[in-house]
């Protein structure tokens, strides 16, 4: 059995106050021990590894220099915050990461006072930090606010909106740009470090403050002239940047793994100057763990793995994942139709579009973390006769809802939306749970809203979306593997707004929308055995609703249960609306809609989450018995 890493320095650290007792010369060893502890922990839990490895030194430096939690550190996305959690009183629980009842895989306000802002979607840190900085100023406080944002997250418009606002307000805010991929301007050794340290110190800050004081007497025209002169002079040394044009004082780039560089710069920024500051730090994702450094994705997200070899545990051979079925089906269709194009918002592997891109690189577009742009970009392609598939996770599509409404739905443009991560997502918890897309899309006029009940149905829905040109169309599917049904060689075009009967019965009707169909079939077996002959139907469409199917189920059965992996307001609500307007609730029909809980549910294994929500076969059976007003035992008797 592998022994845990030896961590004599880290063993002395419970909170950042303990860290401050170390001499600065001990910080590199502490960083090494922190990195080893994180690798060991994630090897047992799985999770996001590469991002955290890249910010170990930065995390140590921030907590060493700043007075947290009074000083606020906001980690954008939060998946790189594992080292931060270890240093802030959570080391004893770090091996519960992403487990039921354990630590979140992201920052979470309810978990620790050292997490001032919860995050799992990107590009929110500067906006939140600016809000905290302004609140501090309104209260007369003096604490620092530091937003740590990656270069990928800087591709989102929201980050620039926040920086523009911060520059206009001249708010005291520190933004650390963690450049771990694009290397916008990599450091050039000791000279770069020297210039960064010099620029962060009293000399330049004093020069700038002097200019501000001078211009307060001489007026705005001189103010502009002096400001330009100061920045122009500094530009000769460090180079002007877009960030400076937005009102930020720009420092760097500096080596984010060299604590002798980081600590002095952070101290200077802490102690000098005013207004918004951006520190450009260059790091290496996966730093310090050879298998991660060698991997193309730097071990961004991993399952449990062997620390020595880096070999990840493989899921048991099973049905293909829904994501892969979607990708392979779209590739198959694109071979026949050169108008098909695919769009991802910085999630090529997560959506399967990396596979599509290998075969059709010129027809694949990764627009960065910019879901709003992705949707309107797709709308523009659709106006010119192309067939755009904007593959975006359910929770990420929420970020582009106005574009879905204004740029797509109102104009009835045929944009196709494959929606991955529908329903519970397990270890990623509430921030990635696809609960709301059916409700927010089926509310829009002219939208076609589908859900695949299995991998074969998903293949049909891909082809249906290709063939449909009347307006926007969407189909949702969960994370994980299919149920193992036989797959057609190619999908068939489904009739829009038509569901299907999977099993005939006479007393109970189970109407499923999505992959709960398998549990409905299991429930039907138990209900049949209890003397309750059960029909099982696959709705396929929430909009347009198969009203003929719903009417038939309502008229021919005593109990109708709708089942979906979505929130209230979705498929079941549309069924109930139809039943009410048609007067089909007036003849003794008992209707029970089963939906996801009206709560944000913390991480656990998906099967446990569905069981707790009453959306597994046992929960469906209970709902039927309750509708009849009997217990299971009474019905069987």
Catalytic sites, residue numbers: 285, 371, 399
Euclidean distance between CA atoms 418 and 407, whole angstroms: 17
Helix (H) or strand (E) holding 560: strand 559-564
Half-sphere exposure of 593 (CA within 13 A, CB side): 20
Count Cβ atoms below 10 Å from residue 70 Cβ, excluding itself: 11
- Contact at 8 Å (CB) between 132 and 125? no
For 117, residues 6+ apart whose C-beta sits below 8 A from its C-beta are: 72, 74, 107, 109, 124, 125, 128, 129, 132
SS3 label, residue 439: helix
38 near 274, Cβ under 8 Å? Answer: no
Instruction: Extract long-range pairs of 36-41: CB within 8 Å, 24+ residues apart.
Output: 36/5, 36/7, 37/5, 37/7, 37/10, 37/86, 37/91, 37/94, 38/82, 38/83, 38/86, 38/94, 39/5, 39/289, 39/307, 40/4, 40/5, 40/307, 41/82, 41/86, 41/94, 41/95, 41/97
For the chain, the residue count is 637
CA dihedral 329, 330, 336, 337 (to 10 degrees): 160
How many Å apart are CA 520 and CA 512, to the nearest integer? 7
Beta-carbon-side half-sphere exposure of residue 226 (alpha carbons within 13 Å):
17
How is residue 188 annotated by DSSP?
-
Largest CA distance in the chain: 94
- Of the candidates 357, 356, 301, the one whose C-alpha atom is nearest the C-alpha of residue 325 is 356
Tokens (6 digits) for 491: 């999908």
């Amino acid at each position: 059995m592998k022994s845990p890493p030896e961590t004599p320095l880290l063993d002395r650290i419970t909170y950042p106050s303990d860290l401050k007792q170390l001499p600065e010369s001990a910080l590199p060893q502490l960083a090494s021990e922190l990195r080893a502890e994180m690798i060991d922990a994630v090897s047992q839990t799985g999770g996001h590894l590469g991002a955290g490895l890249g910010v170990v030194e930065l995390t140590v430096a921030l907590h060493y220099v700043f007075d947290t939690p009074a000083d606020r550190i906001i980690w954008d996305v939060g998946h790189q915050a594992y080292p931060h959690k270890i240093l802030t009183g959570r080391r004893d629980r770090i091996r519960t990461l992403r487990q039921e009842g354990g630590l979140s895989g992201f920052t979470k306000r309810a978990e620790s006072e050292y997490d001032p802002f919860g995050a799992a979607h990107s590009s929110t840190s500067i906006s939140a930090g600016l809000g905290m900085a302004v609140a501090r100023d309104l209260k007369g406080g003096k604490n620092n606010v530091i937003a740590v944002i990656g270069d990928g997250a800087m591709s989102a418009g929201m980050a620039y909106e926040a920086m523009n606002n911060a520059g206009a307000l001249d708010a005291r805010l520190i933004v650390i740009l963690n450049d771990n991929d694009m290397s916008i301007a990599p450091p050039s050794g000791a000279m770069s470090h020297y210039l960064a340290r010099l620029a962060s110190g009293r000399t330049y800050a004093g020069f700038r403050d002097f200019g501000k004081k001078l211009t307060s007497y001489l007026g705005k025209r001189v103010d502009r002239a002096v400001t330009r002169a100061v920045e122009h002079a500094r530009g000769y040394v460090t180079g002007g940047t877009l960030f400076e044009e937005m009102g930020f004082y720009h420092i760097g780039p500096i080596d984010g793994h060299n604590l002798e560089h980081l600590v002095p710069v952070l101290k200077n920024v802490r102690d000098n100057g005013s207004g918004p500051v951006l520190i450009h730090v260059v790091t290496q994702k996966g730093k310090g763990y050879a298998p991660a450094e060698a991997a193309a994705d730097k071990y961004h997200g991993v399952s449990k793995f062997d620390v020595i070899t880096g070999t990840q545990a493989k899921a048991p051979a099973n049905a293909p994942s829904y994501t892969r079925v979607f990708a392979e089906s779209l590739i198959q269709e694109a071979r026949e139709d050169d108008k098909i194009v695919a769009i991802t918002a910085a999630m090529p592997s997560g959506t399967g579009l990396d596979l599509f891109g290998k075969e059709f690189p010129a027809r694949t577009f990764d627009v960065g973390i910019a879901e709003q742009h992705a949707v309107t970009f797709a709308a523009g392609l659709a106006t010119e006769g192309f067939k755009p598939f904007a593959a975006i996770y359910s929770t990420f599509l929420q970020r582009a809802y106005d574009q879905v409404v204004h740029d797509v739905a109102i104009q009835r443009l045929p944009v196709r939306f494959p929606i991955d991560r529908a329903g519970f997502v397990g270890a990623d918890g509430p921030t990635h749970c696809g609960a709301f897309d059916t409700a927010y899309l089926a509310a829009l006029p002219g939208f076609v809203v589908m859900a695949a009940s299995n991998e074969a149905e998903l293949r049909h829905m891909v082809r249906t979306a290709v063939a449909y040109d009347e307006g926007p169309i969407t189909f949702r599917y969960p994370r994980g593997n299919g149920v193992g049904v036989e797959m057609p060689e190619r999908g068939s075009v489904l009739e829009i707004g038509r569901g299907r009967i999977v099993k005939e019965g006479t007393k109970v009707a189970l109407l499923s929308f999505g992959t709960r169909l398998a549990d409905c079939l299991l429930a039907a077996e138990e209900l049949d055995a209890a003397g309750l002959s059960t029909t099982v139907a696959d709705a396929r469409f929430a909009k347009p609703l198969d009203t003929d199917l719903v009417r038939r189920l309502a008229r021919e059965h005593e109990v109708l249960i709708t089942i979906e992996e979505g929130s209230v307001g979705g498929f079941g609500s549309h069924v109930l609306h139809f039943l009410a307007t048609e007067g089909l609730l007036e003849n003794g029909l008992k209707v029970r809609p089963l939906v996801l809980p009206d709560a944000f549910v913390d991480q656990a294994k998906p099967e446990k989450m569905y069981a707790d929500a009453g959306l597994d076969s046992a929960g469906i059976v209970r709902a039927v018995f309750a509708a009849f007003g009997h217990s299971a035992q009474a019905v069987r008797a």
